[in-house]
């Protein structure tokens, strides 16, 4: 198996529900080990996040657009975060491809975080141990949960269904099919880490008939159509 995520950049609205659901689940998770906050009510709050949503402004005004890009561990097939680890704490599972950290072996040296080009690893300063996305390994195999809930917390929380989880080794899985049909892309492919997660690029704006085809110029209908066309270009 090759488990991973598909993230649809066309429908991600940048709401951060995935990031907060991740933090909520993994804050209590024995497998992930926790995601602490530092000085959360203070002047400079910070903390460990396994999933961070980055926002970019692309294009030139008036055809500019905000692109929201959630990023977590890509569970790379050639992961330098594993090979640089001096203690063997960082490892990739043969059975499903999930990259994990053994907290008993981790000495918090930070080598793996420096080796990760995706910023996917963050040091737990309280425990002196590295933390990262586990694909919610303690949810996805939990036989006590209904099958529909055996998904990573971020996938379950996403209100716009921008996130999908599954097996990329199965050509008939939803993630493989979506990635094939929508030209799913890995991030920073040239770096050679062979990330598993795929990003579906934003679609071209929908083609709405020109206002003059809908109604006489100057009518309310015509003005509404012009407004719709303007909005979908943003």
Within residues 162-201, the interface with ligand SF4 by CB under 6 A covers 162-163, 193, 195
178 with 161: CB under 8 angstroms? no
> Is 16 among the residues that bind ligand SF4 (CB under 6 A)?
yes
Min dist. Cβ of residue 47 to ligand SF4 (A): 18
Only one of the segments 23-31, 102-110, 168-176, 215-223 lies at the binding site for ligand SF4 (rule: CB under 6 A); that segment is 102-110
**What is residue 147's DSSP assignment?**
G
Q: Which is nearer to ligand SF4, 87 or 219 (CB)?
A: 87
Q: Which is nearer to ligand SF4, 68 or 176 (CB)?
A: 68
- By C-beta, is 35 or 73 nearer to ligand SF4? 73
109 scored as a contact of ligand SF4 (CB under 6 A): yes
Decide whether 32 or 106 has the Cβ nearer to ligand SF4: 106
Tokens of 164: 């999908």
Taking CB under 6 A as the rule, which mask of x and - marks residues 29-58 in contact with ligand SF4? ------------------------x-----
At closest approach, how far in Å is the CB of 91 from ligand SF4?
9
Residues in Cβ contact with 69 at an 8 Å cutoff, skipping those fewer than 6 apart: 7, 9, 12, 53, 54, 55, 56, 199
End-to-end CA distance of the chain: 39
5 near ligand SF4, rule: CB under 6 A: no
Distance CA 67, CA 12 (A): 8
The percent helix, strand, coil of the chain (3-state, each to 5) is 25, 20, 55
SS3 185: strand
Nearest Cα to Cα of residue 99 among 70, 125, 121: 121
| 3-8 vs 163-167, strand pairing mode | antiparallel
Among 3, 4, 22, 70, binds ligand SF4 (CB under 6 A): 70
Q: How many whole angstroms separate alpha carbon 98 and alpha carbon 3? A: 7
Residue span binding ligand SF4 (CB under 6 A) among the ranges 56-64, 103-111, 177-185, 218-226: 103-111
Task: Please report, as ranges, the residues that interact with ligand SF4 according to CB under 6 A.
Answer: 12-18, 53, 68, 70, 73-76, 79-81, 84-85, 87, 89-90, 99, 101, 106-112, 116, 118, 120-121, 130, 132, 157-158, 160, 162-163, 193, 195
């Amino acid at each position: 198996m090759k488990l991973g995520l598909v993230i649809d950049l066309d429908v991600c609205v940048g709401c951060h529900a995935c990031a907060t659901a991740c933090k909520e689940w993994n804050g209590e998770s024995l497998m992930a080990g926790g995601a602490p906050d530092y000085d959360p009510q203070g002047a400079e709050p910070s903390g460990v996040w396994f999933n961070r949503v980055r926002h970019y402004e692309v294009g030139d005004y008036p055809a500019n657009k905000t692109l929201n890009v959630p990023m977590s561990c890509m569970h790379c097939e050639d992961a330098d975060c594993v090979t640089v680890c001096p203690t063997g704490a960082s490892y990739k599972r043969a059975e499903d491809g999930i990259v994990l950290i053994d907290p008993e072996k981790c000495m918090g040296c930070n080598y793996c975080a420096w080796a990760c080009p995706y910023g996917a690893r963050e040091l737990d300063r309280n425990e002196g141990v590295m933390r990262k996305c586990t694909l919610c390994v303690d949810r996805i195999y939990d036989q006590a949960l209904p099958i529909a809930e055996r998904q990573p917390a971020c996938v379950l929380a996403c209100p716009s269904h921008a996130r999908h989880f599954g097996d990329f080794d199965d050509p008939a899985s939803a993630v493989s099919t979506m990635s094939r049909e929508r030209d799913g892309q890995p991030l920073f492919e040239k770096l050679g880490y062979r990330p598993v997660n795929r990003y579906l690029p934003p679609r071209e704006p929908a083609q709405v008939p020109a206002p003059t085809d809908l109604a006489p110029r100057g009518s309310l209908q015509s003005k509404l159509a012009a407004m719709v066309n303007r909005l979908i270009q943003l």
